[in-house]
Amino acid sequence: MPNEWGLTNWPPTDAPPWIDLQTSDWRTLVAEMQERGWTVDNPTGGERNKYFKDTLDSDGHSVRGIMVVSPGGARYPFAVCDDLSHLELLVLWPPYTCGSLTG
């Protein structure tokens, strides 16, 4: 069942606490994180089951999980909608979406 933000099973309740880096724009977020030395990795099988199983975006589309890795090695779950028409990014701060890559 969707939560107050229209998302199903997101944000994960057991994700590590997010740092003070927040934006509502994909491109700004990626640029800032790369500038600070963050990387992206595929989730392990355990992370996939823990964070992304049965997660749906605000349109009810399934998502693909990605792990965003801090310079110190902390792994944070983010999710990208599988629907190529809008590619919504789910993040760990309210409103838990960083908008759509396509618009």
Ranges of each domain in the chain: 26-100
pLDDT digits (tens, 9 = 90+) for 12-54: 989 988 888 888 787 888 889 999 999 999 999 999 999 999 9
> Can you give the pLDDT at residue 73?
95
Which pLDDT score is estimated for 97?
86
Q: What pLDDT is recorded for position 38?
A: 94
pLDDT tens-digit series, residues 63-103: 999 999 999 999 999 999 888 887 888 999 888 888 776 65
H-run or E-run covering 81: strand 75-81
What's residue 41's pLDDT?
95
